[in-house]
Amino acid sequence: GNSVTQMEGPVTLSEEAFLTINCTYTATGYPSLFWYVQYPGEGLQLLLKATKADDKGSNKGFEATYRKETTSFHLEKGSVQVSDSAVYFCALQTGANNLFFGTGTRLTVIP
Q: Which residues make up the interface to another protein (CB under 8 A)? A: 4, 32, 36, 41-46, 49, 51, 89, 93, 96-104
**56 close to 71: Cβ distance less than 8 angstroms:** no
What is the pairing mode between strands 44-50 and 32-38?
A: antiparallel
From CA 21, how far away is CA 75, in angstroms rounded?
5
Nearest distance in Å: CB 19, another protein: 20
Nearest distance in Å: CB 24, another protein: 14
Nearer to another protein, 17 or 65 (CB): 65
From CA 73, how far away is CA 64, in angstroms rounded?
6
DSSP state of 84: G
Nearest distance in Å: CB 100, another protein: 8
Nearest distance in Å: CB 96, another protein: 6
- ∠ CA(8), CA(14), CA(18), 5° rounding? 70
Nearer to another protein, 95 or 111 (CB): 95
Nearer to another protein, 49 or 77 (CB): 49
